[in-house]
Chains A and B, each alone.
Chain A
Amino acid sequence: MSLWHRVAWHCKNNPKIELWIMWWAMFCFYQLFGIVFALMTRVMPPPKPWWDHARIVQWFNDNHYGLLWGFGIIFLVAGITASMNALIAYSMTRMSVSRVFSYIYLAIYSLSTLPGMLLTAILLTVGALRPDRDPAIISWIYDAAFTGFVGTMGVFFIGTSVWMLAVLLDKNRVFPLWFGYLNICNLLTEIVVAPMWIFKEGPFAWNGVIAFWVDTLVFVVYTIAFITLLRRMIVREDFGDGPLPELEQRA
């Protein structure tokens, strides 16, 4: 059977097809996010906080097309984040804990795209739109964009706590216990960014070793973990009420 035929068969017959579509949407979104933010717009890793007006204007000029095209793509596909939130909320409905956890998570994370990427995208696009704007205004835009991107972790902090609690209390073992603990690590790194509002250089600035690099590393590990675990959850899913069956041991 060709790939096309197999996909068509799954669309018609696989009871988990919606879950798989959500998972693939999430997976593709993260790849795109990485390409846009790291390679096209050069927002990750962030440029320096201590630059003067002239240097900042130069950064905008150097990245002009990258910013406009990269964030153009993000504005188009931002809605895909809904798939991720839906899948994670779904995972909590499969748990033995109350559905309230799912609903709180959805409510919090529906707000998350704003500080998480859209605000920064809008600000930087505005900055790139008119390169001949007053340098003081461009600097303001630059500061607002990066403080908003690196330093606004409150939403994610609460959201991660909700998921963490659900995982640790869950008797159906939808996720392994270590993932619940990994949520604590992720949660703590979201607090560690706070000093970036005070420092313009050093390890605690928005490009610093501690406030950015270690944080981002932990976040990447965390993201890889939950993408893998969500995939495992879908494979194990039996649409029942009790403990989720373990993955069959391959012979």
Chain B
Amino acid sequence: MSAIDKRLALVCLLLTGVTLLSWWLGNSHGSHAFALNAGITCSVILIAALKVRVIVWEFMELNRAPLRMQRIADALLASLIALLLTLYFSGRAA
């Protein structure tokens, strides 16, 4: 297995592991406890953001792309996550 193949396999393993973590967070409190939970929401959304970034950086090979593209991608992802979390928390405060 070449270095790149190893890297890709590692990335896939990492992403799967983090997905199982999300799944566990969603499941662990039992189906009777579907209440607002900032902790779970925050971690789950940030985990999703991490996964998206890893997919775009490693699988879509943005890590070798021009800097401008990387910056735009990061800016978009950051804005989306910021907006989602802001809406969630301002909704809870209301």
Contact flag (A, B; Cβ within 8 A): no
